[in-house]
Amino acid sequence: MRNCRLALLWFLLLPLLPACSLMPTQQQLPEAFPAEALQQARRQSAELHRLRKLDTPTPAQQQQIKQLHSGLRQFEQNTIRTASRLEKQNDWHGAGQVLKAATGVLPDNQALHSAQQQFSQRRKLREEQVRMELAIHRGEQLLQDAEAYQRLRQLQGPSVMTWLELKNFQRQCGSSVQALQDHGQKALQREHYALAQRALKVARRLYNHDPQQDDEQRKAIDHDLALANHRLRHSAPRTVRRPPKKKDNKRHVAELQQALDAGDLQSARQHLSRLRQESPESPQLQPLQSQFQAQLDIRVENAIKRGNDLYSQGEIERAVTVWRDAKALDPGNAELTTNIARAEKLLENLRALSAEPGTRR
């Protein structure tokens, strides 16, 4: 009878329980990263692993290996791009979930591991910066409270604050001073001198409202604040007054525009650099620079897409050629560097597979 009553009570209370469950829920991914992509990558990885175990893969199986490599490569690129886009939108949690899920599917993928590690470092730095800004905000609020208490004492005398209120306020000041000092030292190590200066200035002002602070802490704050001020003075760009130069930059502008119209980005880059050095205040510089960058972005984007298409079709060497030509225009492009390295590694593996049967003979 007692068990029946307990069962009935549980049945009546069940609809009133919160929606959350004690059972672990499935990891939720952003809409920009569908779960189907994870399942497909998992299947492709398993099939590729199976084919790699073959001693002498047939030509059809070698072609299948190329296609699987291409599919996993596309999954890797989509993952990194999606995480980067979410990070730019300040959806740090979503970006972390995307990288974590993709790394779980492809645990041996070095590019995904590297992207996840770099993302973790950026998120940690961002979190430290936000926490430092919060600490500065709390310190500034305490300074406003101190000014308000001072006005009350001027109005009603020293007894306006009770002993308990005074001790609590001093305790908050001391805690804030310590937090700001710690944040300021970390900011100095990261060479964020402006943020360190701001935190240490607030800490120095709060120090005067906590008589229990020792003199050594004050000296340490003053030392760090002086260091931040010194770094800021020497890192600030010095404005040097130069006599106005009356140079005729029409020739450089015309040559740059002619190169852009012809699509010769290599020559355009040289003319743009010369114009930037000799006439940095030219009104034509910014529009021409924007025009050059737009053409460069389109050229590189088309080259990446063209190379990806060739890669997917098994034309690995032609894809590498396309990517290398684009990299000559944009040497610092990380995506091109990664594409070329991966394609060269795949070509090396395919040559090794093709050479194995002949070696065994």
What is the per-residue pLDDT for 343?
Answer: 85
What is the per-residue pLDDT for 4?
Answer: 54
Mean pLDDT is highest, among 74-88, 210-224, 291-305, for 74-88
What is the per-residue pLDDT for 3?
Answer: 56
What is the per-residue pLDDT for 117?
Answer: 92
Checking if the pLDDT of 326 tops 90, the result is: no
Checking if the pLDDT of 21 tops 50, the result is: no
What is the per-residue pLDDT for 22?
Answer: 37
pLDDT category of residue 158 using cuts at 50, 70 and 90: low
CA–CA distance, 210 with 220 (Å, rounded to integer): 16
Mean pLDDT of the region 92-101: 90
Mean pLDDT of the region 171-177: 85
What is the per-residue pLDDT for 299?
Answer: 85
Q: How far is CA 248 from the centre of its chain?
A: 43
CA–CA distance, 322 with 300 (Å, rounded to integer): 10
Specify whether domain 250-353 bears CATH 1.10.10: no
Mean pLDDT of the region 45-52: 88
Q: What is the 3-state secondary structure (H, E, C) of the chain?
A: CHHHHHHHHHHHHHHHCCCCCCCCCCCCCCCCCCHHHHHHHHHHHHHHHHHHCCCCCCHHHHHHHHHHHHHHHHHHHHHHHHHHHHHHCCCHHHHHHHHHHHHHHCCCCHHHHHHHHHHHHHHHHHHHHHHHHHHHHHHHHHHHHHHHHHHHHHHHCHHHCCHHHHHHHHHHHHHHHHHHHHHHHHHHHCCCHHHHHHHHHHHHHHHCCCCCCCHHHHHHHHHHHHHHHHHHHHHCCCCCCCCCCCCCCHHHHHHHHHHHHHCCHHHHHHHHHHHHHHCCCCCCHHHHHHHHHHHHHHHHHHHHHHHHHHHHCCCHHHHHHHHHHHHHHCCCCHHHHHHHHHHHHHHHHHHHHHHHHHHHC
Domain boundaries, the chain: 36-41+62-108, 129-235, 250-353
Residues 220, 203 contacting (CB under 8 angstroms): no
Mean pLDDT of the region 137-158: 79
User: Which residues have a Cβ under 8 Å from the Cβ of 98 and sit 6 or more positions away?
Assistant: 29, 30, 32, 33, 79, 82, 83, 86
What is the per-residue pLDDT for 19?
Answer: 42
| Averaged pLDDT score across all residues of the chain | 79
What is the per-residue pLDDT for 25?
Answer: 43
pLDDT category of residue 118 using cuts at 50, 70 and 90: very high
Give the residue, 163 or 245, on which the prediction is more confident: 163
What is the per-residue pLDDT for 18?
Answer: 45
Among 17-31, 176-190, 319-333, which is the least confidently predicted range?
Answer: 17-31
What is the per-residue pLDDT for 285?
Answer: 76
Q: Give Cα separations from 353 to 57, 212, 339, 347 (angstroms).
A: 8, 74, 21, 10
Checking if the pLDDT of 172 tops 50, the result is: yes
Give the residue, 278 or 307, on which the prediction is more confident: 307
What is the per-residue pLDDT for 23?
Answer: 37
What is the per-residue pLDDT for 120?
Answer: 92
Checking if the pLDDT of 8 tops 60, the result is: no
Q: Which of these, 37, 45, 29, 36, lies nearest to 107 by C-alpha position?
A: 45
pLDDT category of residue 119 using cuts at 50, 70 and 90: very high
Checking if the pLDDT of 47 tops 60, the result is: yes
User: Which residues have a Cβ under 8 Å from the Cβ of 300 and sit 6 or more positions away?
Assistant: 326, 329, 330, 333, 336
What is the per-residue pLDDT for 298?
Answer: 86
Mean pLDDT of the region 264-293: 80
Checking if the pLDDT of 202 tops 80, the result is: yes
What is the per-residue pLDDT for 355?
Answer: 65
Mean pLDDT of the region 71-90: 89
Give the residue, 1 or 126, on which the prediction is more confident: 126
